[in-house]
Amino acid sequence: MSNMSTTELVNFEALANENDMSRRNELARNVATLFSLTSEKCSEEQIEVYDSVLVRLSDMVEMQARAFIAGRLASLRRAPEATIRRLANDEIEVAKPVLESSTVLRDADLVDISMKRSEDHRVAIAAREILSDMVTDVLVETGGSIVHQTVARNGGASLSSKGVLALVQASGLDEDLQMALANRSDLDEQAVSTLASLASERVRMRLLETSTGAGGEVPQAARVAAQKLSNDFWLRRYDFETAMGRVMALARGPGIDEETLVHFAEEDRFAEAVATFAMIGDIGIEEAKHWMVRTDTDPFLIVAKAADLDVSTVEKLLKVGPWRYRLREPDRARIIARFKGINPQSAQLLVNQWHSRVAC
């Protein structure tokens, strides 16, 4: 493995002349299996080699082989990005496990697929463990009844007020959707009132049980909300190792600055944003990734102020990665006000004191 970046993993010229499709399929399965077993130990360069190879193989093999590749890669934290996007846009038999599970896909990918691909693709996306309201808004707008029901039942799906209203309005003759909405714990009073006016008697009873805490069981949304309170839940979703390698390569080449940080934030590349923030703020990657996940944002704000980051940069960072889900707009407004009030000299003094303690 150590020499893979300088070694041809697959002889594509010979493979192109291979008439036996079964051999191509077997080779693709073997490469996917090898990567799935070694991904955590691969360097960034090795992952890029695998990515290039698997993308090309995906265009040369049958659907069953592509489905096998998707199944091997879907749950990997360090999966090859181009391959994952290629598979996510494939037929649903191939795309389903990737759309449901891969943490490599960003919101922009999910939105694009939701708008361009089939209803089955949207159903698979709607079943993801975590969904931002940016994605659910598109799913609700473009999807049919099964997509609506899947989103409503998904306790990890964040819903905007626009999304909730659209789902409530769509539930007029759909008791299954009404019941799924009634089981959520994040509907505001207006949404509950509108739903009650449309709902069947059975759904109204469920709404009453939810609002009074009756019924005995813990709703799925509440269980997922509790899980999302854990910092570890978020940290294990991102490939910080590869991101740090990419940022260090940039630092050795053209260099990194606040503009680099803004670029990663706007591209929804949370792991790369964390690595860049760590280097700009002169802190360790471990500190950066923990401070940019937790809901107590003071350590992050102090480093950001000491690094003289612009308030617009901080605003962008508060809307990517876990903070997209864990912070509400009133929280962000409060945090920005706190950032503006921090004295730069005091922030630098605190960072210096932290460095002194770490060095001891």
pLDDT beyond 50 at 45: yes
Q: For 258-307, write each residue's pLDDT tens digit.
A: 999 999 999 999 999 999 999 999 999 999 999 999 889 999 999 999 99
With b for 16 or more beta-carbon neighbours within 10 A and e for fewer, the 230-246 pattern comes to eeebbeebbbbbbbbbb
pLDDT for 224: 54
pLDDT for 180: 87
pLDDT beyond 50 at 22: yes
pLDDT beyond 90 at 23: no
Longest dimension (CA), the chain: 70
pLDDT beyond 90 at 2: no
- Which residue has 């490939």 as its token pair? 239
pLDDT beyond 70 at 225: no
pLDDT beyond 50 at 222: no
With b for 16 or more beta-carbon neighbours within 10 A and e for fewer, the 309-344 pattern comes to beeebbebbbbbbbbbebbeeeebeebbeebeebee
- Could you tell me which of 57, 84, 65 has the C-alpha nearest to residue 73? 84
3-state secondary structure 235-257: HCCCCHHHHHHHHHHHHHCCCCC
CB 289 within 8 A of CB 266: no
Q: For 143-155, write each residue's pLDDT tens digit.
A: 999 999 999 999 8
Mean pLDDT of the chain: 88
Within 10 Å of residue 213's Cβ, how many Cβ atoms?
Answer: 7
pLDDT beyond 50 at 195: yes
The ranges assigned to domains in the chain are: 1-105, 106-222, 234-359
